[in-house]
Structure 1
Amino acid sequence: MTLDQLLQDHCQALEGRPLAAAEVLKQLGVLPEWRHKDGSIQRSYAFRDYFDTIAFVNALAWIVHRENHHPELSVHYNRCVVAFNTHSVGGISRNDFICAAKADALYAQRPFV
């Protein structure tokens, strides 16, 4: 899927198998800041201070709640690590890439700074 397709798409309830390793690598090419690590896709976002970090976390929480696909978050003073995987498929799915693209779009807009 292209970046535009990921941004326009929405998460769906999924069952079955995770994406194959080759497909994960292909999709990571669309989202170059993301890495495949520990069974998920992860990215660290940097901020000016704690307030901006928390503002991003709150805005991201609203987006992923609408998608019904929630990440693991590691929140620090001036950064937040976001990790997506799909429990229902036991690995990485297209939903993870949809939400990752939306997280990147949020970060690019910087409405919280």
Structure 2
Amino acid sequence: MSELSEMKCEACQIDAPKVTGQELIDLSKMVADWTVENRDGINQLERVYKFKNFKLAMEFTNKLAELAEVEFHHPGILTEWGKVTVTWWSHSIKGLHKNDFIMAAKTDQLLNS
């Protein structure tokens, strides 16, 4: 995970390639706590983070929002009492790009910051 979390997102244009089947397998191993969900034919990375209360969930959400702005790559975020569901995918290509795995790894690091 650490090598992914040290990478920067690249600009993802509409013609950028989605990850291949083998890349999906390899990159998924690097963010093992994330699952690939298929919604309306679009692969997305998703993870649910658990917290002791709403305040801690919101603090995590705010850190994630700041990270997303810095990297200019934005996830789906559902903040509830005691949990935050984060979903990464590249809207422009309607699927998964290496950027999504980079951001998943960076999101995991927020737990330690």
Work out whether the TM-score is over 0.5: yes
Match of 1:70, SS?
A: coil
Code of the residue aligned with 1:67 in structure 2: it is: E
More strand by share: 2
Counterparts of 1:21 and 1:80, CA distance in 2: 28
Superposition pairs for residues 24-35 of structure 1, below 5 Å? 24-35=24-35
Deviations 1:44-96 (A, max 9, x none): 00000000000000011101110000000111100011000001222101110
Match of 1:11, SS?
A: coil
Please point out which of 10, 16, 23 is paired with 1:12: 10
Whether 1:77 aligns to 2:74 is no
Whether 1:98 aligns to 2:102 is yes
Query: What TM-score, normalized by structure 2, do the two folds share?
Result: 0.89
Identity %: 27
Structure 1 residue runs without a partner (length 5+): none
Q: Show structure 1 runs of 4+ deviating over 2 A.
A: none
Structure 2 residue runs without a partner (length 5+): none
Number of residue pairs matched?
107
After superposition, the CA RMSD in angstroms is 1.1
Deviation of 1:22 (Å): 2.3
Query: What TM-score, normalized by structure 1, do the two folds share?
Result: 0.89
Counterparts of 1:43 and 1:97, CA distance in 2: 12
Counterparts of 1:25 and 1:100, CA distance in 2: 15
